[in-house]
Amino acid sequence: MPLFEVENLTYYYPETEQPALRNVNIAIEEGEFLLVAGGSGSGKSSLARALAGLIPGFYGGRIGGTVRYKKRDIQSINRRDLAGEIGIVFQDPEKQLVMTGVEAEVAFGLENTGLPQPEMFRRVAEVMSFLGITSLKTEFTAALSGGQKQKLALASVLAMQPQALILDEPASQLDPSAAEDLFNLLKKLNEEMHLTIILVEQRLDRCFHLADRVVVMEHGEILREGPPGEIAAWEVKKGLPFVPPVAALFAHTGSPVIPLTVKEGRRLLKKSTWSGSKEKAAAAVRQEHAGPSPGKEPVFEVKDLWFAYPNGREALRGINLSAGPGEFLAVLGENAAGKTTLLKHLAGLLKPNRGKVTIMGRDTRQATPQQMARTVGYLSQNPNDYLFQDTVAEELHFTLNNLGLPDEGRVDRLLKKLGLDRCRQTNPRDLSSGERQRAALASVMVAGPRLLLLDEPTRGLDYGLKAGLGNLLREIAESGTTVLLVTHDVEFAAEYACRVVMLFDGRIASDGPKHAVLGNSMFYAPQISKLFRGIDSGVLTFREAVEKMRHSSIQNVFAKKSR
């Protein structure tokens, strides 16, 4: 018996002309693990909210069709009962935690449903023990890491013992290992607790294989649904990007079997007559450009940088780093490894306790952030921090006026380059998430900085928007601006950066060409690199893998098999 039945669901948010959901029909079985994929604005989150009964109950708007839960119209179910049946975890844990302390947060939903104290205590104890967060019960929520906060958000929903759990991009704020932990936990909940899981996600490489069924959405409609392998093959055929790199690679080569995990892919690769060579790969690595351009003055130079916050926590310990014009660096590392602290030193926002940071030969200790602004562009994690003028064009003029720079057609050129020329008179707060980010980037880039710093720029972006941003940053780097970004997105770093710096506990664990660093990393390697580990260490990206396979016999083998 289906747990959810959605029939001809069409939904308009208040004061909008375009529907967020168009004629959606889907049935979700009890105990199923459903993955919902699609681009930004495709209707994934709206579908999740409709299944959680938040649409139109919380949002208002116009709705057509029905959503039934256990054969009952979801809107007719008492909200208190519904909260005990269906739980929803949102993207940003920071924006869903209510209480100051961990234990009180877990109990919050239970208090709302009026449960008696002994029952609440039992559930709180059980769920905290199950998720391994009992040791955090007396902590303040503000003191938790991103991964712990998301686990707490999950605990506070699970405490209500729902039968269905809906998660809207729960891993978007997490580093790779925390994201992996979360997805493994979901699988455990699904398999051992028989919980129905509906996961909306953009980072598909770690969760595609976990699903029983994948739904692909576009423009508010369900394009296709089916088992992961079938969907992967169909997506590659249609040129859609919502598929893990391993599956996309094998589908691209014409393999009749589409592996969804690195393990399956490696098994397939080893069965075939792979003729890649380690020597060629090593040569490719050697050819890569890693350090500052010879003979050119470095754009930034960090010498023996030590920094501790006033609470005594040492965030950076003896950092040495430099980069020349046009280099594209990605800084990776776990949460609290010191990535953002390093970025803020390069922006001149923080000053070293010991050591030295110079930007274009200028010591940051001798300069205010305002003085650095002509040389350094800094885009923080939240693009909304930049947007407050009435129009996008005014945002760019605001920066120019502050720095006393003439326009001379800069605004027009930049807006065109970033694809924002049609939005120049639009209020930046009315833009989509991808457009907002580009508008914030434009407001920084308009000053023509020599060093561009970006903190987690791919957060919340879909594959298409990420590709757009990656290409744009690559262009910016090619034009001579040094680009340094901090990210958890290993796939993005592997695809677009030239050089990768790994930070661990405030120290540089490795620094070098991306093939050398990511190719040798066990946990921070992109999926394609994991696939080729020990087979061909020079392969890091999808394009490289396709190229290698084209020159090997593997493609022919698959082609023959499929015939």
Cis omega (within 30 of 0) for bond into 56: yes
Rounded distance between C-alpha atoms, residue 94 and residue 149, angstroms:
7
SS3 197: strand
DSSP character at residue 101: B
Residue 84 found at the interface with other proteins (CB under 8 A): yes
Residue 539 found at the interface with other proteins (CB under 8 A): no
Q: Considering only the stretches 99-107, 214-222, 277-285, 297-305, report the one whose residues sit in contact with other proteins under the rule CB under 8 A.
A: 99-107
Binding residue for other proteins, selected from 35, 36, 107, 154, defined by CB under 8 A: 107
First to last CA, the chain: 39
Residue 96 found at the interface with other proteins (CB under 8 A): yes
Binding residue for other proteins, selected from 9, 269, 347, 357, defined by CB under 8 A: 347
Are 250 and 265 a contacting pair, CB within 8 Å? Answer: yes
Q: Considering only the stretches 95-103, 209-217, 469-477, 478-486, report the one whose residues sit in contact with other proteins under the rule CB under 8 A.
A: 95-103
Residue 92 found at the interface with other proteins (CB under 8 A): yes
Least Å from the CB of residue 8 to other proteins: 25
Q: Considering only the stretches 215-223, 303-311, 460-468, 535-543, report the one whose residues sit in contact with other proteins under the rule CB under 8 A.
A: 303-311
Binding residue for other proteins, selected from 220, 298, 377, 460, defined by CB under 8 A: 377
Q: Considering only the stretches 17-25, 154-162, 263-271, 272-280, report the one whose residues sit in contact with other proteins under the rule CB under 8 A.
A: 154-162
Residues 498-537 that bind other proteins (CB under 8 A): none
Count the helix, strand and coil residues of the chain and give each as a percent rounded to the nearest 5: 40, 20, 35
Q: Considering only the stretches 31-39, 133-141, 411-419, 484-492, report the one whose residues sit in contact with other proteins under the rule CB under 8 A.
A: 133-141
Least Å from the CB of residue 155 to other proteins: 12
Residues 385-404 that bind other proteins (CB under 8 A): 385-388, 398-399, 402-404
Q: Which is nearer to other proteins, 111 or 547 (CB)?
A: 111
Binding residue for other proteins, selected from 97, 502, 531, 549, defined by CB under 8 A: 97
Q: Which is nearer to other proteins, 406 or 534 (CB)?
A: 406
Least Å from the CB of residue 460 to other proteins: 13
Rounded distance between C-alpha atoms, residue 234 and residue 230, angstroms:
6
Residue 120 vs residues 84, 111, 361, 374, 430: alpha-carbon distances, Å:
13, 8, 61, 57, 42
CB atoms within 10 A of CB 71: 9
Binding residue for other proteins, selected from 149, 209, 344, 499, defined by CB under 8 A: 344
Residues 172-191 that bind other proteins (CB under 8 A): none
Rounded distance between C-alpha atoms, residue 133 and residue 135, angstroms:
5
Least Å from the CB of residue 406 to other proteins: 14
Rounded distance between C-alpha atoms, residue 102 and residue 38, angstroms:
33
- CA-closest candidate to residue 164, choices 190, 187, 196, 194: 196
Binding mask 401-440 for other proteins (x = CB under 8 A): -xxx------------------------x-----------
Number of chain positions touching other proteins (CB under 8 A): 79
Residues 211-270 that bind other proteins (CB under 8 A): none
Q: Which is nearer to other proteins, 15 or 279 (CB)?
A: 15
Q: Considering only the stretches 11-19, 299-307, 375-383, 483-491, report the one whose residues sit in contact with other proteins under the rule CB under 8 A.
A: 375-383
The long-range contacts involving 522-529, CB below 8 angstroms and separated by at least 24 positions, are 523/176, 523/177, 524/176, 524/332, 524/490, 525/490, 526/205, 526/245, 526/490, 526/491, 526/493, 526/494, 526/495, 527/205, 527/244, 527/245, 527/246, 527/262, 527/491, 528/245, 528/246, 528/249, 528/494, 529/494
Q: Which is nearer to other proteins, 266 or 459 (CB)?
A: 459
Residue 77 found at the interface with other proteins (CB under 8 A): no
Q: Considering only the stretches 97-105, 297-305, 431-439, 484-492, report the one whose residues sit in contact with other proteins under the rule CB under 8 A.
A: 97-105
Q: Which is nearer to other proteins, 376 or 508 (CB)?
A: 376
Looking up tokens 């599956």, which residue turns up? 247
Binding residue for other proteins, selected from 141, 172, 272, 341, defined by CB under 8 A: 141
Are 481 and 312 a contacting pair, CB within 8 Å? Answer: no
Reported as type and span, the H/E element at residue 435 is helix 433-445
Q: Considering only the stretches 132-140, 407-415, 494-502, 552-560, report the one whose residues sit in contact with other proteins under the rule CB under 8 A.
A: 132-140
Strands of the sheet containing 33-38, edge to edge, are 86-89, 164-168, 196-200, 33-38, 213-218, 221-226
Rounded distance between C-alpha atoms, residue 193 and residue 161, angstroms:
10
Least Å from the CB of residue 135 to other proteins: 11
Residue 542 vs residues 260, 390, 516: alpha-carbon distances, Å:
15, 41, 17
Least Å from the CB of residue 345 to other proteins: 12
Residue 142 found at the interface with other proteins (CB under 8 A): yes
Q: Which is nearer to other proteins, 61 or 226 (CB)?
A: 61
DSSP character at residue 488: S
> 374 is written with which tokens?
């002509």
Q: Which is nearer to other proteins, 168 or 511 (CB)?
A: 168
Residue 52 found at the interface with other proteins (CB under 8 A): yes
* 194 class by beta-carbon count within 10 Å (0-12 exposed, 13-18 middle, 19+ buried): exposed
Least Å from the CB of residue 425 to other proteins: 19
Residue 139 found at the interface with other proteins (CB under 8 A): yes
Rounded distance between C-alpha atoms, residue 47 and residue 54, angstroms:
10
Rounded distance between C-alpha atoms, residue 358 and residue 362, angstroms:
5
